[in-house]
């Protein structure tokens, strides 16, 4: 299961967002370092396709795919040098697959701001700078090691030293590693460094209750900054659209927490009163899912219809391994149908009759929305 770390400055609303996402009970208070050990919660990925498949398969059990959110304590300026509980918190960030960076965009005199005044762009820069400084230290240490190894004339270490020099220069100019690397080969080369700024990021603009629709323009300013940092040219860059270049998702963590105690109709009415179209939590989960370039495939067998997660580009053989190693080892064929084809046919029998189900081999590249029946030989006992 993929892990998303929720980070940000103290009092940005991280734990409130975590509680709303997970219906959890992480401690919330208006002083720094309320969260010391990370809280962990598993959140299902919203999926209309799974619901549509279930209307055809009518399973006894319906299992969505999920992501794990980790509520990491607030970073402060100087965290890369151990300020606050910085080293411990940076270690927690190294263990996650992607970062949900919560940025405070709300005014509240009862919740003090660590810098004394509200400035979302400055706050985002503060957190990113600490991650950059931590990575710079890591890269410098690796560079020293590879430079020593290079003296033996090994070309591999010459190339690695050159890469470390380039990353050192990029980080020194304040550029995250994820924007500096240009190829999958380079990313694979530094994977064992667990660099913080190599991780995909989404920004969660916590608007609070004072300005859920961003009349003050704080979310827009954060979006422009994020898009500019990434060099986005897409018209959606920095927008709330998770498919955009840099996802910036406006969410009122406190409002989302209040919605948890309401039924669906009451929640919809409350959102209308606030001038909001929908809850933002689902968009946060989907954005986190998408920045990792994940896709969903489905299986239906016996009483259960289930969604599974794989990286884009995964083969049928790799997807089989997600379900069970025995299925992967005994893989014979994969019977595949698109979710929309099944919906149009109305049943598996009709889809098979129309030739919409096809047999694929182990090298078939799974597509988002595939429904797969794996044919495999049972292992000998």
Tens-digit pLDDT profile for residues 228-279:
887 775 444 444 443 346 789 999 888 888 888 788 788 888 888 877 777 7
Per-residue confidence (pLDDT) for residue 322, from 0 to 100: 95
Is CATH 3.90.1010.10 the right assignment for the domain spanning 3-291?
no
Nearest-angstrom CA–CA distance, 190 and 290: 23
Distance of CA 203 to the CA centre of its chain: 10
How many angstroms separate the CA atoms of 111 and 32, rounded?
10
Least confidently predicted of 135-144, 198-207, 260-269 = 260-269
Q: For residues 74 and 85, is the Cβ–Cβ distance under 8 A?
A: no
Read out DSSP for 327-353? HHHTEEEEEEEEHHHHHHHSSHHHHHH
Residue that is written with structure tokens 């660099």 in the block: 195
Average pLDDT over residues 224-231: 86
Backbone angles phi, psi at 26, to 5 degrees: -65, 140
Is this prediction's pTM over 0.85? no
For the beta carbon of residue 162, count every other beta carbon within 10 angstroms.
13
Going by C-alpha positions, the residue among 117, 135, 129, 103 that lies closest to residue 7 is: 103
**Domains 3-291 and 313-376 in one fold:** no
**Which residue, 155, 233, 148, 163, is CA-closest to 198?**
163
Q: DSSP 3-state assignment of 206?
A: strand
Classify residue 365 by its DSSP letter. Answer: B
Residue 310 near residue 295, CB atoms below 8 Å: yes
- When pLDDT is averaged across residues 296-307 and rounded to a whole number, the result is 95
Q: How far apart are CA 365 and CA 293, in angstroms?
A: 14
| Per-residue tokens: 2 | 């993929």
CATH code, residues 313-376? 3.10.20.30
Closest CA to 11 of 197, 206, 288, 202: 206
**The two structure tokens encoding residue 29:** 């208070």
Residues in the chain: 381
Q: What is the per-residue pLDDT for 33? A: 36
**pLDDT band at 25; cut points 50, 70, 90:** very low
Report pLDDT for 89.
Answer: 67
**Is there a contact between 321 and 331 (Cβ–Cβ < 8 Å)?**
no
% of the chain surpassing 70 pLDDT: 87
Contacts of 140 (CB under 8 A, 6+ apart): 168
Position 31 pLDDT exceeds 50: no
Cβ–Cβ < 8 Å for 32, 17? no
For the cut 90, the answer to whether the pLDDT of residue 156 exceeds it is no
In tens, the pLDDT along 275-295 reads 777 778 888 888 888 889 999
Whether the predicted pLDDT of 86 surpasses 70? no
Instruction: Give me the residues paired with residue 99 across strands.
Output: 5, 201
Extents of the domains making up the chain: 3-291, 313-376
């Amino acid at each position: 299961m993929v892990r998303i770390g929720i980070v940000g400055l103290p009092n940005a609303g991280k734990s409130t967002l975590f509680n709303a996402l997970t219906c959890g009970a992480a401690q919330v208070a208006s002083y720094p370092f309320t969260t010391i050990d990370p809280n962990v919660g598993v959140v299902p990925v919203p999926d209309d396709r799974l619901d549509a498949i279930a209307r055809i398969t009518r399973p006894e059990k319906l299992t969505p795919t999920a992501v794990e959110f980790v509520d990491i304590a607030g970073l402060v300026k100087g965290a890369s040098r151990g300020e606050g509980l910085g080293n411990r918190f940076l270690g927690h960030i190294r263990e996650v697959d992607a970062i949900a960076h919560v940025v405070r965009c709300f005014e509240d005199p009862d919740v003090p701001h660590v810098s004394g005044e509200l400035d979302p762009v400055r706050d985002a820069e503060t957190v990113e700078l600490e991650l950059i400084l931590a990575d710079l230290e890591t890269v410098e240490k690796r560079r020293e090691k590879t430079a020593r190894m290079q003296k033996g004339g090994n070309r591999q270490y010459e190339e690695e030293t050159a890469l470390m020099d380039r990353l050192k220069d990029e980080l020194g100019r304040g550029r995250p590693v994820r924007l500096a690397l240009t190829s999958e080969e380079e990313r694979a080369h530094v994977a064992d460094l667990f660099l913080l700024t190599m991780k995909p990021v989404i920004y969660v603009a916590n608007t609070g209750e004072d300005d859920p629709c961003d009349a003050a323009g704080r979310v827009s300013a954060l979006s422009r900054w994020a898009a500019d940092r990434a060099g986005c040219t897409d018209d959606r860059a920095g927008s709330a659209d998770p498919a955009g270049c840099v996802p910036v998702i406006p969410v009122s963590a406190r409002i989302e927490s209040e919605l948890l105690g309401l039924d669906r109709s009451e929640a919809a009415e409350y959102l209308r009163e606030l001038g909001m179209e929908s809850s933002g939590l689902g968009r946060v989960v989907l954005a986190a899912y998408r920045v990792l370039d994940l896709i969903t495939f489905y299986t239906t067998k016996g009483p259960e219809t289930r969604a599974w997660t794989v990286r884009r580009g995964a083969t049928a053989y790799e997807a089989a391994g997600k379900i069970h190693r025995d299925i992967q080892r005994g893989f014979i064929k994969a019977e595949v149908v698109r979710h929309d084809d099944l919906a149009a046919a109305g049943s598996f029998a009709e889809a098979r009759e129309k030739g919409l189900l096809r047999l694929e081999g182990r090298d078939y590249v799974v597509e988002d929305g595939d429904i797969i029946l794996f044919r495999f030989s049972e292992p000998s006992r």
